[in-house]
Structure 1
Amino acid sequence: MNSSSLKTPYFLIDEDKLIRNLEIAKRLKELSGVKLVLALKCFSTWGVFDIIKPYLDGTTSSGPYEVKLGHETFGGETHAYSVGYSEDDVREVADICDKLIFNSQSQLKAHRHLVEGKASLGLRLNPGVSYAGQDLADPARQFSRLGVHADKIDPEVFASLDGVMFHMNCENKDVDAFIGLLDAISAKFGTYLDSLEWVSLGGGVFFTWPGYDVEKLAAALKVFSERHGVQLYLEPGEAIITQTTDLVVTVVDIVENDMQTAIVDSATEAHRLDTLIYNEPASIEEASENGEHTYVIGSCSCLAGDQFCVANFDEPLSIGQRLHISDSAGYTMVKLNWFNGLRMPSIYCQRSSGEIQLLNEFDYQDFKRTLSQWPVR
């Protein structure tokens, strides 16, 4: 199968690029003793879990279906967390997870009896400090509902807890900033941590970013682990799949209204939602920083502000031309939706052998089935 024959839009995951990130993850584990569990909220495309499983220790979730998916398709350790569990949710996951982490002391009190004797029991704590580029993604933002704040902790709950989880980073590329967060956690929560078996430091640590000092991170994690006598976990998502996947689209029209817009057969609203939510322009592989031809890369949805980016090109774009929207794995396939009834991108993986493997494809019946099911009365 040749990529030029594939019908756009589609995602193309590159196995070699994925392995490059995973080798860095492997090195971090060896140097620090930390365990790594894949954050399924970021990337759940289980058709490539065979590549990832040899490198990581398991998965972590943000909802019941992710717990099931991790248990069934990845194995290893299955961590279950949710901001708000129903009793049915807890009953559903307690038998298939290794660690179950509650978001609040009230949830812990209400449901712990369903977990004890089955899974290791954990609680999310909010450290009150964080590293996040946008308020929307900041776990320590004002009035945050995520985890128990230090001044609200009932010390008695720690008598029967096995571990805790902190999550306070979003795309943190600064190892010194992360070490500062570790020191703050030790100072504020150290007496609690000393009695536990494990501590998860959550995700958002971008240790595969070019130039990131993995040795320095590993040393800091090892010191923290030894100081408190705990097994440490990180929950990487983006760090594992960054720069591994393109969303390939085709230019279907070019319109001009003071500025040229190349309309492509995809949409941020439907296929790359975080581009829209966080107002972070996409990157186009074919673009050139100093190119003389400037285009808005606009989507084919009806949402007026739905565009991927503004980009420069060395040559004029043409209808029928393909463009590769880079770094399109994280928070994309897990957020696909059927807005405007647009064609859903297929998902492929280019294996190290050169083979292009189809992982999934969608058609009209998939769209129809999500909205109602026969027979309609």
Structure 2
Amino acid sequence: MRNEMKSLQLKTPYFLIDENKLIKNLEIAKKLKELSGVKLVLALKCFSTWGVFDIIKPYLDGTTSSSPFEVKLGHEMFGGETHAYSVGYSEDDVHEVVDICDKLIFNSQSQLIAYHHLVEGKASLGLRLNPGVSYAKQDLANPARQFSRLGVHADNIDPKVFALLDGVMIHMNCENKDVDVFLRLLDTVSDKFGTYFNQLKWVSLGGGVFFTWPGYDVQKLARALRAFGARHTVQLYLEPGEAIITNTTDLVVTVVDIVENEIKTAILDSATEAHRLDTLLYNEPASIVESSNNGEYTYVMGSCSCLAGDQFCVASFDTQLNIGQRLHITDSAGYTMVKLNWFNGIRMPSIYCQRENGNIQLLNSFHYQDFKRTLSQWSVS
């Protein structure tokens, strides 16, 4: 009760990460590692809130990145293996990361040819391949979409480049909750690239495998991964993001107004455009803890931004909402904190973690000066 009272004193909006829920996911990850022999590296593009890396580090093997800044963060704040990948490196980028990463993965054969001499002897060399098949409900997130720039397609491979490589990365899933679909993709990849795999030390199968989803058959996944690794004599990696932090975090907001135009809209002190961008990008409505499927009172959950279509969802409640009431937007960890922005100058949510002992720890907070210095900084003489 004391910690519930403390949370009511926190100024909204804020993210609240629940350590107990995070550990629940991590225990599943631990089981998958033990059963399959696969190594797991956290995808920082999904979740980079390093204030809770102390919880995650004992369970995972390291991090994987999409930019030099993420490489530095993984190296400095997480440790373990640091995988460096980018869709497009400059030579300066390669110099920046090569001494602090364990694996450096190029997106194209041209970049591999251009920069491999900078990497050899320092990091394990990798190349991204594109199998031309994938699981993704949204075309925006589909790595095998038409004209995809992500990785080398089978018919474009120059076999000679494999003399330079230690491993490859294949990312072909986005929120794949169906183990049987993943296994079919795995068979396709094995058939298409198996000859090349047999020359390598490691293969990363990327992220998007939702093995912490309720009811997911982790043992079936583990058996398939172990068999794949044995068949090609490679060390397998997965790059989980959402699977690690799903359903661990609420975005806590306050109703600041209620307006009506044929339907009632609750105006919240938050915005999808600024604080939960994927809700807007992928048109995937958020979920409210306090809502009810058969509730008598229905509201649009509208943001406080000036973007006309900026809303979280339509939700029903058993009782009418009141100005000043707090609501919890669930599953708000993945691709949220890494995408925060200052659209409309809206106050960014603070970030808290509720630890196992119930204590609420402040990880970060944002203020006017943070907004002010984002776009300009100068000294007045």
For the superposition of Structure 1 and Structure 2, which TM-score range results when normalised by the shorter chain? over 0.9
Give how far 1:160 is off: 1.7
**Who is 1:108 aligned against?**
112
Give how far 1:247 is off: 0.2
Q: Residue type of the partner of 1:354?
A: G
Match among 184, 187, 190 for residue 183 of structure 1: 187
Task: Name structure 2 gaps, 5 residues minimum.
Answer: none
**Who is 2:271 aligned against?**
267
Match among 148, 158, 162 for residue 162 of structure 2: 158
Match among 221, 226, 231 for residue 230 of structure 2: 226
For residues 271-303 of structure 1, what are the alpha-carbon distances to aligned partners after superposition, in whole Å with 9 as ceiling and x for unaligned? 000000000000000000000100000000000
**Who is 2:103 aligned against?**
99
**Who is 2:354 aligned against?**
350
Give how far 1:376 is off: 6.7
Alpha-carbon distance in structure 2 between the residues aligned to 1:262 and 1:218: 45
Alpha-carbon distance in structure 2 between the residues aligned to 1:118 and 1:3: 47
Q: Which runs of 4+ in 1 moved over 2 A?
A: none
Match among 289, 305, 312 for residue 309 of structure 2: 305
For residues 335-365 of structure 1, what are the alpha-carbon distances to aligned partners after superposition, in whole Å with 9 as ceiling and x for unaligned? 0000000011000000000000000000000
Task: Name structure 1 gaps, 5 residues minimum.
Answer: none
Give how far 1:375 is off: 2.2
For residues 175-219 of structure 1, what are the alpha-carbon distances to aligned partners after superposition, in whole Å with 9 as ceiling and x for unaligned? 000000110011010000001000000000000000000000000
Match among 21, 25, 28 for residue 17 of structure 1: 21
**Who is 1:332 aligned against?**
336
Alpha-carbon distance in structure 2 between the residues aligned to 1:134 and 1:42: 16
Describe the SS at the equivalent of 2:174. coil
For residues 251-290 of structure 1, what are the alpha-carbon distances to aligned partners after superposition, in whole Å with 9 as ceiling and x for unaligned? 0000000000000000000000000000000000000000
Alpha-carbon distance in structure 1 between the residues aligned to 2:312 and 2:138: 19
For residues 42-73 of structure 1, what are the alpha-carbon distances to aligned partners after superposition, in whole Å with 9 as ceiling and x for unaligned? 00000000000000000000001000000000
Alpha-carbon distance in structure 2 between the residues aligned to 1:45 and 1:265: 22
**Who is 2:372 aligned against?**
368
Describe the SS at the equivalent of 1:285. coil
Within the alignment, does 1:280 sit opposite 2:289 as a pair? no
Q: Residue type of the partner of 1:316?
A: Q
Give how far 1:374 is off: 1.4
Describe the SS at the equivalent of 1:225. helix
Within the alignment, does 1:87 sit opposite 2:87 as a pair? no
Alpha-carbon distance in structure 1 between the residues aligned to 2:80 and 2:214: 29
Alignment of 1:141-152 (within 5 A): 141-152=145-156
For residues 147-180 of structure 1, what are the alpha-carbon distances to aligned partners after superposition, in whole Å with 9 as ceiling and x for unaligned? 0000000000001200000000000000000000
- Structure 1 residues 376 and 152, CA gap change in structure 2 (3 angstroms): farther
TM-score, with normalisation over the residues of structure 1?
0.99
**Who is 1:67 aligned against?**
71
**Who is 2:38 aligned against?**
34
Q: Residue type of the partner of 1:34?
A: V
Give how far 1:322 is off: 0.2
- Structure 1 residues 33 and 267, CA gap change in structure 2 (3 angstroms): same
State the aligned residue count.
377
**Who is 1:248 aligned against?**
252
Q: Residue type of the partner of 2:96?
A: E
| Aligned Cα root-mean-square deviation (Å) | 0.7
Describe the SS at the equivalent of 2:375. coil
Within the alignment, does 1:202 sit opposite 2:188 as a pair? no
For residues 299-321 of structure 1, what are the alpha-carbon distances to aligned partners after superposition, in whole Å with 9 as ceiling and x for unaligned? 00000000000000000000000
Q: Residue type of the partner of 1:372?
A: S
Give how far 1:139 is off: 0.1
**Who is 1:317 aligned against?**
321
Give how far 1:224 is off: 0.3
Alpha-carbon distance in structure 1 between the residues aligned to 2:373 and 2:224: 50
For residues 73-115 of structure 1, what are the alpha-carbon distances to aligned partners after superposition, in whole Å with 9 as ceiling and x for unaligned? 0000000000000000000000000000000000101111111
Alpha-carbon distance in structure 2 between the residues aligned to 1:57 and 1:190: 25
Q: Residue type of the partner of 1:309?
A: C
**Who is 1:119 aligned against?**
123
